[in-house]
Amino acid sequence: MAILNLFFVYTSYSCILYCILVLGFRLLLHPLRKYPGPFAAKLSEAYGGFYALRKRLHLQTYENHLRYGPVLRQAPNRLIFNSVSALQAIYQNERVNKSYVYAVAQPEQHNTFITTNRAQHRPKRRLMSQVLSEQSMRSFEPIMVNQVLIFLRQLLQANSSPVNMTPMCRYLGLDVAGLLGFGYERNLQTDHAHRSLTDALTFGNYRTNQRLNTVLMDLLPNRLRTELRATIEKMILTRLAQPSEDKHDLLSVFSEAEQSDLDIKNMKKSAIWAEAILFFAAGGETIASTLAATFFYLSQNPECYQKLATEIRSTFSSGSEIRGGPRLSSCRYLRACIDEALRMSPPVPGTLWREAATDAKDKPLIIGVSIYSLHHNENYFPDSFQFQPERWLAKDNNNNNNNNNKAAHEAFVAFSMGSRVCAGKAMAYLETSLVLVMTFWYFDFEPSSSEGKEAGEQKNTAGGKGWRVGEFQMQDIFAAGHDGPELRFRPRGDFCCEELSRRGNGPADMLQLL
Ligand code: HEM
């Protein structure tokens, strides 16, 4: 017994001594010791984990940059930068890779987003680029438009009562993502039965973000994940029972690409489902965030709303003309509004961790730029908390706006940059543009309460410290979480009901909804 006691005493002392030595090293001898940052962050990754758990790590990082400057030590082995020069040096650098923390965050997924090995990443990325290319989008567009029409019918059905745009946009985004990824109609927009999918995705994002920011922490349970897996299995089996050429989706693009691309041919067929799952979080959730934020800012800024309404309603002469192509691309104010919403409330607000490509066995230095912080850096975006789509529009004459505009473009990083830039950028702009233009064509909208600005923000989560009036607040769970805005939609004249009933699934459906 005495020996056992002695063993425990020595073990406890050894542990305490070990902790003191590790913490002392991190504080006084570590190569990053001279970089400023919160005291707790210098000692442990738990600092980042704590704020990730509270879903406000992006806000904390922003506040820390204000306090400590453009280079910040956020964990013993991690630095965050807040400048365009650092952005380019990190993300456009062949010698810098995605950090190993991605693989730790989702060990079971080896898709385009997670894979850190360049050779393994290449064929996956080529496949994704093909399914998300402009040509592929042209084939997919009618399916997308059909989903947007369902979205519009839901707005009509609301009959001017308040609509919470977060769930509406999520159901739309996930239905479109499901159709492109799995060729499967999940019908979240119209059917309540499978909406737990959204909770499972939120939970998955939250868990991923935890692990990205502290590899120590994995406290969250797994039940929703199991449910998500069952749903996905059903989607895969249904799709596999159909000929691949029956749909325009990931499987059909894969089947065609493998004829001519040996690397893609060598990919296991099962590997494409890991890519399809990625469509939900990478494609569905991000688009929903962009839409919810843009609706929010337009409802809060009547001048911008008017300018955009005028642009859209003078560019098209009927709802059925609204399609991707030169006329949609000519809507420059529309693009400026989307970019400004992406800047102010980026759908991926956190820090995208990178590390030097090296064979060394030592723990690599992890570095990155926080998207939210850079997007609110006053050097690049003066009055950064104000919604000003004009900052994206270069003036023709030689005034300052052109210089500001260049700085803004260089610091705009909502889709990341370099070899791991978002593969779905073209789809993101097409889908968000179609939704906004078609909504403005058929409806007018306003915040749900007549009390104006603040009332419109009530359904706008996160809150607490860091809350700003006029900002659509994102929760940092990698692909952002949010709620609201609550808006009321009024049809623009009688033609709205007629046209919407004529298009898409036809009058029978429409009668059911009205
Ligand atoms: C507004 C909407 C979107 C935003 C803001 C966005 C943002 C991003 C960002 C920041 C990354 C880099 C992540 C990292 O390095 O950790 C990324 C990667 C990626 N995104 Fe998007 N995304 C959007 C829409 C989409 C869509 C619609 C798809 C397609 C379904 C998509 C597919 C991907 C893929 C496959 C990657 C991984 C690329 C790679 O590592 O090679 N994204 N996205």
Single out the residue of 197, 198, 201, 182 nearest to residue 131, CA to CA.
182
For residue 167, report the distance from its CA to the centre of ligand 1, in Å. Answer: 21
Residue 485 preceded by cis peptide, ω within 30 = yes
Q: Is 497 annotated as a binding residue?
A: no
Instruction: Please identify, by atom number, the ligand 1 atom nearest to the C-alpha of residue 275.
Output: 35
pLDDT at residue number 222: 63
Q: Which DSSP letter does residue 36 get?
A: -
Residues 414, 341 contacting (CB under 8 angstroms): no
Strands 96-98 and 443-447: unpaired
- Rounded Cα distance, 160 and 442, in Å: 13
* List of the chain residues with pLDDT < 70: 1, 109, 215-224, 357-362, 396-404, 450-467, 503-514
Instruction: Please identify, by atom number, the ligand 1 atom nearest to the C-alpha of residue 347.
Output: 5
pLDDT at residue number 481: 87
Q: In the block, which residue shows the tokens 């004459």?
A: 397
The reply to whether ligand 1 has any atom less than 6 angstroms from the CB of 149 is no
**Residue 417, Cβ neighbours under 10 Å: how many?**
18
Three-state DSSP state, 351: strand
Token pair, residue 84, equals 């365009």
Q: ipTM higher than 0.90?
A: yes
Best residue among 104, 170, 205, 286 to mutate for probing ligand 1's pocket (most ligand atoms within 8 Å of CB) is 286
Query: Quick one: 94-345+414-513 is in which CATH superfamily?
Result: Cytochrome P450 (1.10.630.10)
The reply to whether ligand 1 has any atom less than 6 angstroms from the CB of 114 is no
The reply to whether ligand 1 has any atom less than 6 angstroms from the CB of 428 is yes
**pTM, rounded to two decimals:** 0.91
pLDDT at residue number 413: 97
- Rounded Cα distance, 176 and 280, in Å: 9
Give pLDDT tens digits for 302-351.
999 999 999 999 999 988 899 999 999 999 999 999 999 999 999 999 99
Residues 267, 123 contacting (CB under 8 angstroms): yes
Token pair, residue 197, equals 């999918």
For residue 203, report the distance from its CA to the centre of ligand 1, in Å. Answer: 19
- Rounded Cα distance, 344 and 341, in Å: 5
Q: Is 438 exposed, middle or buried (0-12, 13-18, 19+ CB in 10 A)?
A: buried
Q: Which residues of 373-410 are buried (b: 16+ CB within 10 A; e: fewer)?
A: bbbbbeebbeebeebbbebbeeeeeeeebeebbebbee
Task: Name the residue with the closest Cα to ligand 1, atom 3.
Answer: 286
pLDDT at residue number 414: 98
pLDDT at residue number 458: 42
Instruction: Please identify, by atom number, the ligand 1 atom nearest to the C-alpha of residue 419.
Output: 41
The 443-447 sheet, strands edge to edge: 163-164, 486-491, 443-447
- Rounded Cα distance, 231 and 253, in Å: 23
The reply to whether ligand 1 has any atom less than 6 angstroms from the CB of 430 is no
